[in-house]
């Protein structure tokens, strides 16, 4: 028990520390905090008074570490701190709520089975929150401890940079001004290394260079003696000269320049090294004196031998820059002067050199005491040390792993109960007096934090609360408030998913003409798309400012943060749609830079992907579908489709509104996770989906019968019997479509293949006219799509009939056959090898009654069985399609063969499943989730943001 | 170095210039290696240790004063198009103009030179200048060899003064004439 108490104290301490370290003054300028707060405000001291979007925070951290740029330690620290604060607030909220409930047991833990007296609401909401919080923690843990890769960039290398910085800073920040010297933007030492040490450190990025800077500014660095100083300095000077000459050689562009360099090289090589060293060394020494005298603050950064090295190297490097920067003639002239000068003249030369170097002047200006608001006083130094220490501590905290949510809650629930000795009650039986709307909002928002998707549901309910709470509208805000309410009303209609789903048949102003939310449509007449978009953007900017002003006012009837955010989000949605319509890039978005920009970018990418896929298909490139992991990458599919433009879905709705966009925003993972019991909220979400789907399907059926059929195949809502593997294949096709890799016509053609190879569907499968002709080939996991060209028209059909009847024109060419046929009966879709191979296989499996049984005998996995069955069916269908004169008897035989294949396939699957069940140690769970299950697993969702 | 037997010192230097194969599909990174070999019976001594300067080799003879052999390798592709397209008179004139820009500062006078140009192949040119000048009231002589390739070049020089041993200078000149150059792409 003592250990538990100690742990709880530790958790509390850590959490409190983390919370205290989130510095709004420092971080709000680095990260857009509003983006990560779904509702409420950070100003609200109540843990339940704000709602975080955990996934956005984690997504931002991912971007920070995987962008390919060196990570910004400060921004990383701020984001991590925000996440820790979100984590802490959620923990605190749930501690308060669970401590008083009967859902937590005596140890403060939530048991795996719901206690009988635990209310459903608390139970369900806690688990949903836990699921989301744990998921974000898991993503961060993976990001910070493993090598997550994106576009060739790995998180481990970024983390290494951060840890290096932290390790270098932490032990020394207290005693030196290393941070000040090595600051990447202002640090004089860092700037010197970057500016002058081009040969040594030219390839280093800023983080690496900063590490080198820390190394050179440690107070423990010592110089052994004067000898070291001189030796180091002279060597540096000699190297500097060599560098200068080599640089001239390498940069010479004209033969004239080459002649100059070779001649100065002749002078250098004909002097003894001692002469060169002496003269150059004297020059450097004089320069160092000049530099040190004038740049003392900068000189104080480097320590020990690095101070010597830096000073000498800087001096000679400065000479190089002087030479090269001023041109070869100037450099050679200068060097000639040096080589001829006596030692006594060197000081004068150095002074001139230092004074005439533009770089030196620039640095001197910046380093002069008080310049650019920077001082080097002792007081500032103390402040700097404190800041360095704080920065180091913050980064160290940011780099710590996220605590386990459940354990933290349990430990603190115990602590709270011990402290307060509160009575536990079933919260369903009463109204919570302690946690009001804020708490409720927090719970819902924690759900929302999982993704943008949850926003609609939670915001709808929070909006009711907020509207109610702001119901005592004051008359101090008059006309403006009215106009805002009008916007809100418009946008509410625009936002409503049911309303949206009905749009395709009815249409509304908000959806049909989103521009009317911003400007009068008649003002746009005659304008170019760019002009229209500019007018809309300008109006949106003003409207946005209006909303923000109303939400930031101190008046009691001000717009709540939630209301304002919803309005702004909806304006962003409308703007994104308008940008898509008018072909404007997302980069022209308004200043707030909200997440919708990313959505628009994704949309643009989707269009590209669709175009690429279309192009590929038209070139008869196989579009391979993996035969495993039917719903893999579902999360990314959602992300892509969410931002997809009308290009991909024109066939569905014929509007600028994406069909998928209109889907109710529901967190599928929370639905999937709530296996124990479906709460009312989850049930409502599911009902919303069903309702939407019904309406949308009806609408789509009216607009495009073939699309409706395609959709029904996916959901298997036809009355036909259909096998599990066919459903799986259909699911895979639909995923490709959702990702935007294939368009609806291509998907339709692929579905066609699955249908015709599914024996049970053969008799009833409907072939649709699409732009693509689908031909099964020998690889069952590959679909060959051939672009047909012009769709079949009555004229085309007439021509086909006329040609086939013979006498009225030339026989059809193969191309014409292809063009006018969407039937699998034509041999043009098959090459000779495919036909011959199919005949061989059909002959083999027809040889005896046990032939097909043998085909499946050696297969050991379900996937193998399913794939082999597909392959055999394709062979049979190929034979059926290509035999020139297939009699009814032969057709019947082939049908029989297909049925046998299916039968043997099912037997083989039963055999495998029986074996698995016999060998599985704990067969508690259902053996396997059907591969066609469209609901993504929680883990899959982790991949998307 | 062995001073009695015939011996060759062979310097192989990898130029900083890395060349990429012509096709983008190939990810093989090729390196241009320029080298020279000089058959020598003289006891050349190379500056080493602290006296060494990166990328430069300077050889001297202890037996005489002012006789110096030096080389430098440079990965400069910019100059190849000029050397490969200009005639030798033009090359010579530009080199001389560049050199003369230094002479005034360096106190060089009476500078004069002659030149030869040998085109070994489409990718190798050897340009040679022989001349003399006066510096610090002392007559000095030089031979410069520019081994130019598309990947960079080697510059080799032989310098001597009026005080140098004439016999050794003559031997050094003969050996210097017989320097062979080679470029490889690996």
- Asked if A175 is an interface residue toward chain B (Cβ–Cβ < 8 A), one would say no
Query: For residue A336, what pLDDT is reported?
Result: 67
**Is the model's pLDDT at A636 over the cut of 70?**
no
**Using an 8 Å Cβ cutoff, are A65 and A159 in contact?**
yes
Task: Give A447's pLDDT tier (boundaries 50, 70, 90).
Answer: very low
Query: For residue B80, what pLDDT is reported?
Result: 92
Residue B71 lies in a domain: yes
- Across residues A86-113, what is the average pLDDT? 80
**Is the model's pLDDT at A607 over the cut of 50?**
no
- Beta-strand runs (E) in chain B: 7-20, 29-40, 44-46, 56-61, 68-74, 108-121, 124-135, 138-149, 152-161, 180-185
Query: For residue A543, what pLDDT is reported?
Result: 77
Give the residue with greater pLDDT, B8 vs A361.
Answer: A361
Residue B158 lies in a domain: yes
**In total, how many domains does chain B have?**
1
Q: Kindly report each contact of residues A145-154 with a partner whose C-beta sits within 8 Å and lies 24 or more positions away, as own/partner.
A: A145/A401, A148/A62, A148/A65, A148/A66, A149/A66, A150/A62, A150/A66, A151/A66, A151/A68, A152/A68, A153/A65, A153/A66, A153/A67, A153/A68, A154/A66
pTM of the model: 0.34
- Asked if B33 is an interface residue toward chain A (Cβ–Cβ < 8 A), one would say no
Residues of A in contact with B97 (CB under 8 A): 256, 259
Task: Give B160's pLDDT tier (boundaries 50, 70, 90).
Answer: very high
- Asked if B113 is an interface residue toward chain A (Cβ–Cβ < 8 A), one would say no
Q: Smallest Cα–Cα separation from A914: which of A929, A927, A931, A902?
A: A927
- Across residues A738-747, what is the average pLDDT? 65
| CB proximity under 8 Å: A 321-340 to B | 329, 332-333, 336-337, 339-340
Interface test with B, best of A243, A269, A275 (most B CBs within 10 A): A269
User: Shortest Cα distance from B161 to chain A (angstroms)?
Assistant: 11
- Across residues A902-909, what is the average pLDDT? 85
User: Shortest Cα distance from A328 to chain B (angstroms)?
Assistant: 10
Whole-complex ipTM: 0.86
Query: For residue A340, what pLDDT is reported?
Result: 65
Contact criterion met (CB < 8 Å) for B98 and A255: yes
What's the rounded Cα separation, in Å, for the pair A822 and A803?
16
CA distances from A457 to A460, A664, A686, B95 (A): 5, 9, 11, 79
**Is the model's pLDDT at A420 over the cut of 50?**
yes
**Pairing state between β B124-135 and B108-121:** antiparallel
**Using an 8 Å Cβ cutoff, are A397 and A18 in contact?**
yes
Q: Which residues pair with A154 in a beta bridge?
A: A149
**Is the model's pLDDT at A477 over the cut of 80?**
no
Name the residue ranges covered by the structural domains of chain A.
Answer: 2-159+395-450, 187-373, 479-594
CA distances from B148 to A337, A882, B154 (A): 31, 68, 7
Backbone dihedral angles phi then psi of residue B13, each to the nearest 5 degrees: -130, 135
What's the rounded Cα separation, in Å, for the pair A804 and A795?
14
Residue B65 lies in a domain: yes
**Using an 8 Å Cβ cutoff, are A280 and A235 in contact?**
no
**Is the model's pLDDT at A394 over the cut of 90?**
no
Closest chain A CA to residue B97: A256
Residues of B in contact with A251 (CB under 8 A): 76
- Across residues B124-141, what is the average pLDDT? 90
**Using an 8 Å Cβ cutoff, are B67 and B169 in contact?**
yes
**Residue B3, Cα to own-chain centre: how many angstroms?**
22
Residue B113 lies in a domain: yes
Q: Smallest Cα–Cα separation from B127: which of B112, B144, B150?
A: B144
Closest chain A CA to residue B59: A269
Query: For residue A74, what pLDDT is reported?
Result: 77
Query: For residue A390, what pLDDT is reported?
Result: 55
- Across residues A853-878, what is the average pLDDT? 80
Closest chain A CA to residue B154: A249
A460: number of Cβ within 10 Å: 16
Residue B150 lies in a domain: yes
Residues of B in contact with A326 (CB under 8 A): none
Task: Give A40's pLDDT tier (boundaries 50, 70, 90).
Answer: confident
Query: For residue A570, what pLDDT is reported?
Result: 66
Q: Of the segments A304-318, A435-449, A570-584, A659-673, which one has the largest average pLDDT value?
A: A570-584
| SS3 label, residue A29 | coil
- Asked if B75 is an interface residue toward chain A (Cβ–Cβ < 8 A), one would say yes
**Residue indicated by tokens 């509208």:** A473
Give the residue with greater pLDDT, A112 vs B123.
Answer: B123
**Is the model's pLDDT at A99 over the cut of 70?**
yes
Task: Give B99's pLDDT tier (boundaries 50, 70, 90).
Answer: confident
**Is the model's pLDDT at B9 over the cut of 80?**
no
Give the residue with greater pLDDT, A234 vs A495.
Answer: A234
Query: For residue B161, what pLDDT is reported?
Result: 92
Domain range enclosing B93: 42-179
| SS3 label, residue A150 | strand
Q: By CB neighbour count within 10 A (0-12 exposed, 13-18 middle, 19+ buried), where does A171 fall?
A: exposed
CATH of the domain at B159: 3.40.1000.10
Closest chain B CA to residue A239: B53
- Asked if B17 is an interface residue toward chain A (Cβ–Cβ < 8 A), one would say no
Helix H, strand E, coil C: the string for A219-280 is CCCCCCCHHHHHHHHHHHHHHHHHHHHHHHHHHCCCHHHHHHHHHHHHHHHHCCHHHHHHHH
- Across residues B24-47, what is the average pLDDT? 72
Lookup: tokens for A734: 């639909």
**Is the model's pLDDT at A391 over the cut of 50?**
yes
Give the residue with greater pLDDT, A92 vs A472.
Answer: A92
Query: For residue A553, what pLDDT is reported?
Result: 65
Residue B120 lies in a domain: yes
What's the rounded Cα separation, in Å, for the pair A663 and A498?
9
Residues of A in contact with B83 (CB under 8 A): 255
Task: Give A108's pLDDT tier (boundaries 50, 70, 90).
Answer: confident
- Those residues with Cβ within 8 angstroms of residue A42's Cβ, 6 or more apart along the chain or in another chain: A24, A33, A50
Backbone dihedral angles phi then psi of residue B171, each to the nearest 5 degrees: -60, -45
Give the residue with greater pLDDT, A23 vs B60.
Answer: B60
- Asked if B81 is an interface residue toward chain A (Cβ–Cβ < 8 A), one would say no
User: In this predicted structure, which of A270-284, A433-447, A535-549, B21-35 has the lowest mean pLDDT?
Assistant: A433-447
Query: For residue B144, what pLDDT is reported?
Result: 94
Mean pLDDT of chain A: 58
User: In this predicted structure, which of A113-117, A523-527, A829-833 has the lowest mean pLDDT?
Assistant: A829-833
What's the rounded Cα separation, in Å, for the pair A672 and A659?
23
Residues of A in contact with B144 (CB under 8 A): 262
CA distances from A843 to A758, A836, A837, A847 (A): 20, 11, 10, 6
- Across residues A525-540, what is the average pLDDT? 84
- Asked if A200 is an interface residue toward chain B (Cβ–Cβ < 8 A), one would say no
Residues of A in contact with B78 (CB under 8 A): 252-253
Helix H, strand E, coil C: the string for A189-217 is HHHHHHHHCHHHHCCCCHHHHHHHHHHHC
- Asked if B129 is an interface residue toward chain A (Cβ–Cβ < 8 A), one would say no
Query: For residue A549, what pLDDT is reported?
Result: 73
User: Shortest Cα distance from B108 to chain A (angstroms)?
Assistant: 10
B170: number of Cβ within 10 Å: 11
Residues of B in contact with A260 (CB under 8 A): 98-99, 101-102
The DSSP-derived string for A756-815 is: HH-HHHHTTPPP---SEEEEE-S-TTEEEEEE--SPP-HHHHHHHHHHHH-TTSPPPPHH
User: Shortest Cα distance from B120 to chain A (angstroms)?
Assistant: 20
Please report, rounded to a whole number, the percentage of residues in chain A having pLDDT higher than 70: 36
- Across residues A263-286, what is the average pLDDT? 71
Residue B140 lies in a domain: yes
Q: Smallest Cα–Cα separation from A519: which of A563, A596, A575, A599?
A: A575
User: Considering CB atoms only, which of B70, B96, B142 is closest to A259?
Assistant: B96
Please report, rounded to a whole number, the percentage of residues in chain B having pLDDT higher than 70: 79
**Residue indicated by tokens 């591969």:** A931
**Is the model's pLDDT at A679 over the cut of 80?**
no
CB pairs under 8 A between A and B: 105
Contact criterion met (CB < 8 Å) for A263 and B102: yes
Give start and end residues of each alpha helix (H) in A146-187: 155-169, 178-182
Q: By CB neighbour count within 10 A (0-12 exposed, 13-18 middle, 19+ buried), where does A311 fall?
A: buried
């Amino acid at each position: 028990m003592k250990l538990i108490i100690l742990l709880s104290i530790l958790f509390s301490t850590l959490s409190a520390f983390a919370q205290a370290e989130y510095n709004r003054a420092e971080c709000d300028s680095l990260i857009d905090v509003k983006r990560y707060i779904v509702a409420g405000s950070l100003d609200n001291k109540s843990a339940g008074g704000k709602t975080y979007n955990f996934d956005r925070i984690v997504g931002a951290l991912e971007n920070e570490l995987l962008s390919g740029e060196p990570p910004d330690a400060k921004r990383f620290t701020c984001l991590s701190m925000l996440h820790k604060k979100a984590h802490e607030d959620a923990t605190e909220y749930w501690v308060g709520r669970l401590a008083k409930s009967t859902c937590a047991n005596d140890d403060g833990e939530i048991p795996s089975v719901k206690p009988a007296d635990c209310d459903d609401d608390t139970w369900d909401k806690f688990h949903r929150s836990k699921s989301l919080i744990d998921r974000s923690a898991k993503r961060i843990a993976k990001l910070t401890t493993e090598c997550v890769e994106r576009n060739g960039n790995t998180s481990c290398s970024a983390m290494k940079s951060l840890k290096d910085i932290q390790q270098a800073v932490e032990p020394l920040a207290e005693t030196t001004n290393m941070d000040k010297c090595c600051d990447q933007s202002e640090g004089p030492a860092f700037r010197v290394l970057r500016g002058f040490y081009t040969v040594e450190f030219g390839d280093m990025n800023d983080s690496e260079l900063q590490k080198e800077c820390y190394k050179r500014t440690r107070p423990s660095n010592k110089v052994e003696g004067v000898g070291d100083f001189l030796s180091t300095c002279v060597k540096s000077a000699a190297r500097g000269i060599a560098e200068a000459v080599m640089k001239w050689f390498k940069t010479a562009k004209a033969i004239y320049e080459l002649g100059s360099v070779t001649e100065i090289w002749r002078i250098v090589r004909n002097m003894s090294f001692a002469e060169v060293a002496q003269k150059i060394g004297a020059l450097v020494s004089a320069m160092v004196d000049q530099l040190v005298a004038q740049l003392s603050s900068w000189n104080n950064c480097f320590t020990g031998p690095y101070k010597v090295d830096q000073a000498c190297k800087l001096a000679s490097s400065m000479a190089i820059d002087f030479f090269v920067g001023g041109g070869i003639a100037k450099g050679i002239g200068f060097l000639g002067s040096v080589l001829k000068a006596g030692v006594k003249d060197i000081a004068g030369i150095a002074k001139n050199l230092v004074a005439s170097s533009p770089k030196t002047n620039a640095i001197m200006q910046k380093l002069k005491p008080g310049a650019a608001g920077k001082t080097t006083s002792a007081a500032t130094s103390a402040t700097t040390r404190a800041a360095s220490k704080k920065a180091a501590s913050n980064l160290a905290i940011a780099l710590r792993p996220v605590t386990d949510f459940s354990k933290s809650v349990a430990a603190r629930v115990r602590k709270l109960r011990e402290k307060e000795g509160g009575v536990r009650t079933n919260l369903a039986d009463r109204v919570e007096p302690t946690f009001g709307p804020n708490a409720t909002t927090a719970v819902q928002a924690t759900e929302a934090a999982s993704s943008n998707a949850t926003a609609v549901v939670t915001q709808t309910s929070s909006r009711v609360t907020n509207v109610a709470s702001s119901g005592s509208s004051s008359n101090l805000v008059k006309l403006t408030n009215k106009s805002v309410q009008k916007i809100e009303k418009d946008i509410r209609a625009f936002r409503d998913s049911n309303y949206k789903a009905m749009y395709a048949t009815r249409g509304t102003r908000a959806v049909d003409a989103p521009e009317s939310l911003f400007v009068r449509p008649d003002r746009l007449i005659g304008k170019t798309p760019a002009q229209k978009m500019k007018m809309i953007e300008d109006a949106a900017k003003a409207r946005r400012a209006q909303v923000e002003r109303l939400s930031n006012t101190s008046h009691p009837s001000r717009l709540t943060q939630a209301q304002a955010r919803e309005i702004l989000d909806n304006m962003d949605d409308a703007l994104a749609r308008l940008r898509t319509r008018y072909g404007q890039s997302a980069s022209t978005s308004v200043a707030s830079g909200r997440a919708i920009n990313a959505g628009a970018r994704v949309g643009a990418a989707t269009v590209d992907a669709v175009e690429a896929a279309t192009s590929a298909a038209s070139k008869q490139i196989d579009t391979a579908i993996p035969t495993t992991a039917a719903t893999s990458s579902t999360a990314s599919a959602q992300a892509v489709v969410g931002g997809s433009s009308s290009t991909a879905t024109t066939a569905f709705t014929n509007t600028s509104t994406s069909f998928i966009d209109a889907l109710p925003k529901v967190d599928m993972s929370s639905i999937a996770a709530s296996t124990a019991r479906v709460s009312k909220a989850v049930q409502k979400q599911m009902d919303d989906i069903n309702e939407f789907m019904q309406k949308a399907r009806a609408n789509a059926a009216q607009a495009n019968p073939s699309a409706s059929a395609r959709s029904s195949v996916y959901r298997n809502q036809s009355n036909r019997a259909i096998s599990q593997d066919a459903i799986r294949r259909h699911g895979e096709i639909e995923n490709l479509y959702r990702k935007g890799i294939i368009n609806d016509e291509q998907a339709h053609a692929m579905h066609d293949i699955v249908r015709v190879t599914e024996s049970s569907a053969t008799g009833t499968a409907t072939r649709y006219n699409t732009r693509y002709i689908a031909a099964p080939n020998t690889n069952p996991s590959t679909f060959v799509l051939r672009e047909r060209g012009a769709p079949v028209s009555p004229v085309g059909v007439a021509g086909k009939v006329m040609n086939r009847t013979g006498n009225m024109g030339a026989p059809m060419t193969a191309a014409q056959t292809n063009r006018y046929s969407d039937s699998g009966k034509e041999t043009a879709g098959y090459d000779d090898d495919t036909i011959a191979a199919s005949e061989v296989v059909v002959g083999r499996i027809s040889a005896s009654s046990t032939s097909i049984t043998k085909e499946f005998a050696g297969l050991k996995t379900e996937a193998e069985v399913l794939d082999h069955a597909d392959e055999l069916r394709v062979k049979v269908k190929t034979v059926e399609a290509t035999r020139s004169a297939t009699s009814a008897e032969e057709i019947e035989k082939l049908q029989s063969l297909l049925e046998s294949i299916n039968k043997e396939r099912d037997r083989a699957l039963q055999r495998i499943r029986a074996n698995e069940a016999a060998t599985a140690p704990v067969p508690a769970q259902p053996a396997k989730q059907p591969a066609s299950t469209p609901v993504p697993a929680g883990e899959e969702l982790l991949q998307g943001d | 170095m062995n001073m009695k037997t015939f011996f060759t010192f062979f310097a192989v230097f990898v130029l900083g210039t890395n060349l990429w194969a012509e096709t983008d599909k190939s990810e093989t990174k090729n390196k241009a290696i320029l080298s020279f070999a000089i058959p020598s019976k003289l006891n050349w001594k190379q500056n080493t240790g602290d006296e060494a300067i990166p990328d430069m080799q300077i050889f001297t003879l202890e037996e005489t004063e002012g006789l110096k052999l030096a080389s430098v390798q440079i990965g400069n592709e910019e100059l190849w198009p000029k050397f490969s397209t200009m005639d030798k008179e033009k090359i010579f004139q530009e080199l001389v103009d560049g050199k003369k820009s230094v002479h005034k500062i360096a106190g060089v006078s009476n500078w004069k030179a002659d030149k030869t140009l040998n085109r070994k192949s489409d990718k190798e040119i050897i340009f040679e200048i022989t001349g003399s000048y006066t510096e610090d009231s002392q007559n000095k002589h030089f031979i410069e060899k520019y081994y130019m390739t598309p990947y960079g070049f080697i510059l080799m020089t032989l310098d001597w003064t009026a005080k140098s041993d004439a016999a050794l200078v003559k031997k050094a000149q003969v050996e210097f004439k017989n320097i062979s150059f080679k470029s490889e792409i690996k």
